[in-house]
Amino acid sequence: MLFPVYAETILEETALFAALLRALPIGLGGISALIGGTLSDRFGRKPAILIGMTGAIVVGALFTTQTPLFIWGILCYEGIASGFKTAGGQTYLISVVPPNRLGLATGLYFINMTVGSAVGSAIAGEVIDRIDYRVFGIGAIILSGVLFVGACFFLPRLMQQSSNRRREQGGIWKSTLNIGAYLNLSRRPNMRMLIGLRVFPTYYWGSVNLLMPILIARIAGVKATGYYGAVSLLFAFGCQLAVGRICDRIGHRTPALVANAIVTLLAFGVAFFHDSLIALEVFGVLGAGAAWALSTTIPRFINEFTEPHEKGHGVGLTHLAWSSGFLLGYVASGFLVNISVQVPFIVAGISLILSTGIAYKLWSFNY
């Protein structure tokens, strides 16, 4: 949340610079998710998660330096690690939870991230405002290191697939990236729609993550930006829990359609009321809730559209779609904001219209 502000105030660079600086690691995260999904299906879920968690340890160092090469290196490694963490974590979730309770479990899974990010965002705003970015970065490194050690000892390791399954899939495991399996998945009509359901909403999310902190910081300062991040993610916490329960009761297609429609309207609201701090906070908070509510439905779609031996591949493919949309939104908004603050959010709204159309088609037809 605070990185675009850090780039503008400390590094004295433009929003476009922040966007380009984030573009490469986001892309690397999408590619590494493909590798992480394959390795997760082959060697188990826990190793992929632990590899991914190392990214959280090093990313705190981002705020302790102004050396461009070091910043690039940190972001690239964090991007690669994030792909492993997403592939391992979501596949772990799908593997241990019965389908009829996967909605609630997904909500709780994402709540871990939103609550942690909310608390971290508020603390970061206070620490940076009272002390500096460096102290915040060092604290993040220490806390992430403690969490990593805890996961090594206490996170249960799931049983791997049987040797018979491995022999049946022997040809698939010859490639680390396993392009053939991913191409096979991408040829399925339902998976293509699920890819669209990830790309287009995260284009909006990329735009919001770049521009919203900058716009709020310009009006009210970095502390307000930190608290905005906290409030928006705490609201998302409630949305995730509610949508998870709804998914377990009525299914995931209707919540996905409603969440898409809501976030579409909110994107256009930000576009036309971007000069008002209250409007930015209200539309931004509601938009975060709707976007995370949509994300809560995705593991259920993956579980529905993939076989037991390809869950990791399904997560890897959809995370590549997520990374692609986020990257496009982040970079394109860095360019478009030079035209007008309204333009990036209008384009994001158009992408969400496409996503809503896909969600409607999934809702209308039973695959």
**Per-residue pLDDT tens digits for 332-341:** 887 888 888 8
Asked if residue 161 is part of any domain, the answer here is no
Determine the structural domain holding residue 251 and report its residue range: 3-154+186-364
Tens of pLDDT, residue by residue over 91-115, are 888 888 888 888 888 878 877 776 7
Quote the percentage of the chain above a pLDDT of 90: 13
Q: Is the pLDDT of residue 162 over 60?
A: no
Confidence of residue 13 (pLDDT cuts 50, 70, 90): low
Q: Is the pLDDT of residue 42 over 60?
A: yes
List the CATH number of the domain containing 360.
Answer: 1.20.1250.20
Give the chain's domain count. Answer: 1
Which pLDDT does position 172 carry in this prediction? 41
Which segment, 54-68, 100-114, 279-293, is predicted with the most confidence on average? Answer: 279-293
Secondary structure in 3-state letters for the chain: CCHHHHHHHCCCCCHHHHHHHHHHHHHHHHHHHHHHHHHHHHHCHHHHHHHHHHHHHHHHHHHHCCCHHHHHHHHHHHHHHHHHHHHHHHHHHHHHCCHHHHHHHHHHHHHHHHHHHHHHHHHHHHHHHHCCHHHHHHHHHHHHHHHHHHHHHHCCCCCCCCHHHHHHCCCHHHCCCCHHHHHHHHCCHHHHHHHHHHHHHHHHHHHHHHHHHHHHHHHHCHHHHHHHHHHHHHHHHHHHHHHHHHHHHHCCHHHHHHHHHHHHHHHHHHHHCCCCHHHHHHHHHHHHHHHHHHHHHHHHHHHHHCCHHHHHHHHHHHHHHHHHHHHHHHHHHHHHCCCCCHHHHHHHHHHHHHHHHHHHHHHHCCC
Q: pTM value?
A: 0.73
Which pLDDT does position 163 carry in this prediction? 39
Asked if residue 330 is part of any domain, the answer here is yes
The whole-number average pLDDT for the span 188-209 is 90
Confidence of residue 330 (pLDDT cuts 50, 70, 90): confident
Confidence of residue 165 (pLDDT cuts 50, 70, 90): very low
Asked if residue 131 is part of any domain, the answer here is yes
